[in-house]
């Protein structure tokens, strides 16, 4: 899980700003001074400063340098809770249903919704692609695209993993009806009703629904607004409860937006592997990143075949198509069997359109 040098430098500078080493309005060291201090090239330092500028953390002033943005708010930090709260049955579905129902009102701005604005997506091109796929469908398409799903689409997804340095074979990928089905199938694969599941706190409401539907117990792990799930709190929970699975968003977490530093990601994977706890990584926001490089997921670790990596096209390309996938590694065939007993398969025309 290597992190680019400019990203490491940007994270170091951001931490200094967060801890008030540099205050709003302060001038940061010049590019050349930072080069000398860090031993990095001028281009690497410039990329780090530009990344922070794109995030609104610093501003460039012509002929003057880079300054901490005026009025920049220090992030609210969650102090790790030393107490472990009893694992809880989840009962949220009715409340979530009411909230999402209210969000259908065109006069309401759904700030709590996980759905992007549909006008941001290339709807006409998607419609043409779907119409073309329907025309090209053969009489055997329905059976040919049963689990694990359309072969060309799975190959395209595997190629995307490869571009990011992650080895995932097409046969490890199972196409699903959105990331929520990926999550549900993954939980079903590694738990039984009544089992304990470690989740982030706060967490995406969808995982709470999945846990409620599966009749599982949630163990909330304190999650920092900057550094993600607390490894120490997770380890303490694993020593206290017979946790069977851990669900988390290691990058661009919903609702906090945090991304775990590489060292925290590596430590979390090591802790969970040591306790033989299944890892379910929800990575639906992986394509929505600033800068030139996306965050590296847990799936990139040496334990990749044991990690259920869930994602979808809903946040980055086609929210209405409801197509996702799980890179299931060693669990792939068993996931396919579970899908055949539930939804049978994802929509065939939509799979063909995306392929």
**Is residue 112 domain-resident?**
no
Q: How many domains does the chain have?
A: 2
Contact 326, 173 (CB under 8 A): yes
**338 closest CA partner among 305, 317, 308, 300:** 308
**243 closest CA partner among 221, 223, 213, 264:** 221
**Model confidence over 130-151: pLDDT tens digits?**
888 788 877 777 676 788 999 9
Neighbours of 95 (CB within 10 A): 11
pLDDT at residue 307, as a whole number: 95
**Is residue 163 domain-resident?**
yes
**Is residue 247 domain-resident?**
yes
pLDDT at residue 77, as a whole number: 54
* Residues 146 and 58 grouped into a single domain: no
pLDDT at residue 85, as a whole number: 54
User: How much is the average pLDDT of 126-131?
Assistant: 84
Beta bridge pairs of residue 224 = 228
The first and second tokens of residue 296, run together, are 């590296």
- Summary mean pLDDT of the chain: 86
Give the pTM: 0.73
* Residues 94 and 36 grouped into a single domain: no
* Residues 41 and 95 grouped into a single domain: no
Q: According to the 3-state scheme, what is the secondary structure of 316-349?
A: CCCCCCCCEEEECHHHHHHHHHHHHCCCCCCCHH
**Model confidence over 148-199: pLDDT tens digits?**
999 989 999 999 898 888 989 999 999 999 889 999 999 999 999 999 999 9
Range list of H helices, the chain: 5-18, 31-38, 42-54, 93-102, 123-136, 141-144, 151-163, 179-190, 205-214, 231-240, 262-274, 332-340, 348-354
Q: Of all residues in the chain, what percent are helix, strand and coil, respectively (each to 5)?
A: 45, 15, 45
**Is residue 205 domain-resident?**
yes
**Is residue 82 domain-resident?**
no
Q: Which residue do the tokens 């792990």 mark?
A: 221
Give me the phi and psi of 142, to 5 degrees please. -60, -45
**186 closest CA partner among 271, 241, 265, 247:** 247
Q: Which residue do the tokens 């941001």 mark?
A: 120
User: How much is the average pLDDT of 54-80?
Assistant: 78
Q: Is the pLDDT of residue 83 over 60?
A: no
**Model confidence over 219-276: pLDDT tens digits?**
999 999 888 999 999 999 999 999 999 999 999 999 998 999 989 999 999 999 999 9
pLDDT band at 45 (very low <50, low <70, confident <90, very high): very high
pLDDT at residue 116, as a whole number: 72
Q: Is the pLDDT of residue 306 over 60?
A: yes
Name the least confident of 73-82, 91-100, 194-203.
73-82
Q: What is the CATH number of the domain that holds 34?
A: 1.10.10.10
Give, as one character, the DSSP assignment of residue 30: P
**Is residue 223 domain-resident?**
yes
pLDDT at residue 27, as a whole number: 92
Contact 249, 278 (CB under 8 A): no
- Say if strands 324-327 and 307-312 run parallel, antiparallel, or are unpaired: antiparallel
pLDDT at residue 125, as a whole number: 85
Residue 274, exposed/middle/buried by CB under 10 A (0-12, 13-18, 19+)?
exposed
Q: Is the pLDDT of residue 91 over 70?
A: no
**Model confidence over 53-63: pLDDT tens digits?**
988 899 999 88
* Residues 151 and 203 grouped into a single domain: yes
* Residues 93 and 204 grouped into a single domain: yes
| Domain that residue 304 falls in | 88-103+120-354
Q: Is the pLDDT of residue 117 over 90?
A: no
Q: Is the pLDDT of residue 65 over 80?
A: yes
**Is residue 52 domain-resident?**
yes
pLDDT at residue 95, as a whole number: 66
Q: Which residue do the tokens 């991304």 mark?
A: 259
Name the least confident of 58-67, 69-78, 133-142, 210-219.
69-78
- Say if strands 324-327 and 65-68 run parallel, antiparallel, or are unpaired: unpaired
* Residues 188 and 39 grouped into a single domain: no
* Residues 92 and 64 grouped into a single domain: no
Beta bridge pairs of residue 279 = 246, 307
Q: What is the CATH number of the domain that holds 150?
A: 3.40.640.10
**Is residue 108 domain-resident?**
no
* Residues 244 and 137 grouped into a single domain: yes
Q: Is the pLDDT of residue 1 over 70?
A: no
SS3 351: helix
Q: Which residues contact 63 (CB under 8 A, 6 or more apart)?
A: none
Helices and strands (H and E) in the chain: how many: 13, 11
* Residues 317 and 348 grouped into a single domain: yes
pLDDT at residue 341, as a whole number: 86
pLDDT at residue 99, as a whole number: 62
């Amino acid at each position: 899980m290597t992190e680019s040098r400019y990203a490491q430098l940007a994270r170091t500078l951001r931490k200094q700003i967060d801890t008030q080493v540099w205050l709003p309005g302060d001038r940061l060291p010049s590019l050349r001074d930072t080069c000398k201090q860090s031993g990095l090239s001028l281009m690497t330092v410039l990329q780090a400063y530009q990344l922070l500028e794109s995030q609104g953390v610093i501003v460039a002033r012509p002929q003057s340098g880079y300054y901490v943005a005026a009025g920049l708010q220090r992030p609210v930090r969650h102090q790790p809770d030393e107490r472990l709260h009893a694992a809880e049955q989840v009962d949220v579905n009715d409340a979530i249903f009411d909230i999402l129902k209210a969000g259908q009102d065109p006069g309401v701005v759904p700030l709590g919704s996980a759905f992007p604005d549909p006008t941001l997506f290339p709807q006409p091109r998607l419609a043409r692609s779907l119409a073309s796929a329907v025309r090209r469908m053969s009489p055997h398409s329905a059976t040919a695209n049963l689990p694990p799903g359309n072969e060309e689409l799975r190959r395209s997804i595997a190629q995307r993993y490869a571009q990011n340095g992650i080895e995932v074979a097409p046969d490890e990928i199972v196409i699903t009806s959105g990331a929520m089905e990926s999550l549900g199938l993954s939980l079903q694969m590694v738990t039984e009703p009544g089992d304990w599941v470690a989740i982030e706190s706060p967490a995406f409401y969808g995982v709470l629904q999945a846990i409620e539907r599966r009749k599982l117990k949630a163990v909330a792990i304190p999650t920092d607004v900057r550094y993600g799930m607390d490894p120490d709190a997770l380890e303490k929970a694993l020593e206290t409860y017979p946790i069977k699975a851990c669900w988390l968003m290691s990058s661009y977490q919903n609702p906090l937006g945090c991304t775990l530093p590489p060292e925290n990601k590596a430590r979390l994977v090591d802790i969970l592997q040591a306790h033989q706890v299944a890892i379910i990584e929800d990575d639906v926001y992986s394509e929505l990143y600033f800068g030139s490089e996306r965050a590296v997921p847990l799936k990139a670790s040496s334990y990749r075949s044991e990690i259920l990596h869930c994602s979808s096209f809903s946040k980055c390309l086609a929210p209405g198509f409801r197509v996702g996938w799980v890179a299931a590694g060693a669990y792939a065939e068993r996931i396919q069997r579970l899908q055949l007993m539930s939804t049978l398969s994802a929509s065939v025309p939509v799979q063909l359109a995306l392929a």
